[in-house]
Amino acid sequence: MLEVKDIVKQYSKHRALDHVSFQIDKGSIFGLLGPNGAGKTSLIRIINQITAPDHGEILFNGESLGPKHISRIGYLPEERGLYKKMLIGEQLLYLAQLKGLSKSDATERIKMWFEKMDMQTWWDKKVEDLSKGMQQKVQFVATVIHEPELIILDEPFSGFDPVNVDIIKNEIIDLNKKGATIIFSTHRMESVEELCDSIVLIDKSKKILDGKVSEIKNEYRNNNYLIKYSTEAKHLDNLSETNLYRVINMQIHDNEAKATIEILNNHRINEVLAFLITQVQIQELVEIIPSIHDIFVKRVKENY
């Protein structure tokens, strides 16, 4: 769907993007992650053709990105904004027409979205009379009104209460199911885990990680397990003269104990389990898979 090829963006002394390349599959939800100032906004602006790269190119469905793709992209910037004095209906109509919709098509779709988002009475309201959350809803509608193939959402959930976060999330999933590819830039890692198929992590203008979320998480598995067992028996530490595992963390409450262990020497969990069954009364065993959050923090710190 979108191929970012060796993009460089230079602002006099500061290099905002340094040979960044990655690919976004059609129909996927793609996480564009990175700490503040990493270069995400620069990249998003290049994809939106607001600015041009100094080097490299972007392919949209295999074609070099150009003006004709503008109407096929929807963009929700992080810094939200609408004309304060303009009526909501007219505003959406204007933005939709700028994206190339005809007036009648635009009117029809706005009405459809108003119904969907429960904002039927908003046409004649001014933006300045709406709450911040309501403005965000209008802005979201403005982003998707022209049914873009590629939707770029920069921090789409900021400013929403939990109820509206769910509404917007469902709309995003819905749009994705209908075939839209979504680029999702956010700092909320739990929504990345929940929504994204693939991610790219940019730090200090460079790509430091990309791939499918499941694969990345697999790669970062480190053989850590959490074991719960009843305490009538012994402390796990005391059993560890075996070189099967080492205890990283240990908590004991009344008659229940929690231990985090790391399996050593390429042993398998089954071997450890076989040993432990003979020692303690096991209640629960879970593999600790690193969250995207942990991976993010780990990689950015390494890069520091």
Burial of 104 (0-12, 13-18, 19+ CB in 10 A): exposed
Nearest to 158 by CA among 147, 168, 148, 172: 168
| Contact string 218-257 vs another protein (x = CB under 8 A) | ----------------------------------------
Pick between residue 95 and residue 236 the one whose CB is nearest to another protein.
95
The pair of three-digit structure tokens given for residue 270, joined into one six-digit string: 């089954």
- Minimum distance of another protein from residue 76's CB (angstroms): 8
Pick between residue 54 and residue 147 the one whose CB is nearest to another protein.
54
- Minimum distance of another protein from residue 176's CB (angstroms): 20
- By the rule CB under 8 A, 12 interacts with another protein: yes
- Minimum distance of another protein from residue 157's CB (angstroms): 17
- Minimum distance of another protein from residue 77's CB (angstroms): 4
Over its C-alpha atoms, the chain yields an Rg (Å, rounded) of 25
CA distances from 264 to 123, 245, 247, 275 (A): 64, 5, 10, 14
- By the rule CB under 8 A, 258 interacts with another protein: no
Binder of another protein out of 16, 58, 130, 142 (CB under 8 A): 142
Pick between residue 95 and residue 216 the one whose CB is nearest to another protein.
95
Pick between residue 34 and residue 148 the one whose CB is nearest to another protein.
148
- By the rule CB under 8 A, 150 interacts with another protein: no
Structural contact between residues 163 and 113, judged by C-beta atoms closer than 8 angstroms: no
Going edge to edge, which strands form the sheet with 245-253? Answer: 245-253, 256-263, 224-230, 281-287
Task: Give the number of other Cβ atoms within 10 Å of residue 51's Cβ.
Answer: 15
What residues have CB less than 8 Å from 61, skipping those under 6 apart? 1, 26, 149
The window from 51-59, 155-163, 190-198, 251-259 that contacts another protein (CB under 8 A) reads 51-59
- By the rule CB under 8 A, 107 interacts with another protein: no
Pick between residue 99 and residue 207 the one whose CB is nearest to another protein.
99
Structural contact between residues 247 and 207, judged by C-beta atoms closer than 8 angstroms: no
- By the rule CB under 8 A, 52 interacts with another protein: yes
| Contact string 69-98 vs another protein (x = CB under 8 A) | -xx-x-x-x-xxxxxxxx-------xx-xx
Which residues, numbered 30-49, are part of the site for another protein (CB under 8 A)?
A: 45, 48-49
- Minimum distance of another protein from residue 83's CB (angstroms): 6
- By the rule CB under 8 A, 50 interacts with another protein: yes
* Contacts to another protein by CB under 8 A: 11-12, 45, 48-52, 54, 70-71, 73, 75, 77, 79-86, 94-95, 97-99, 142
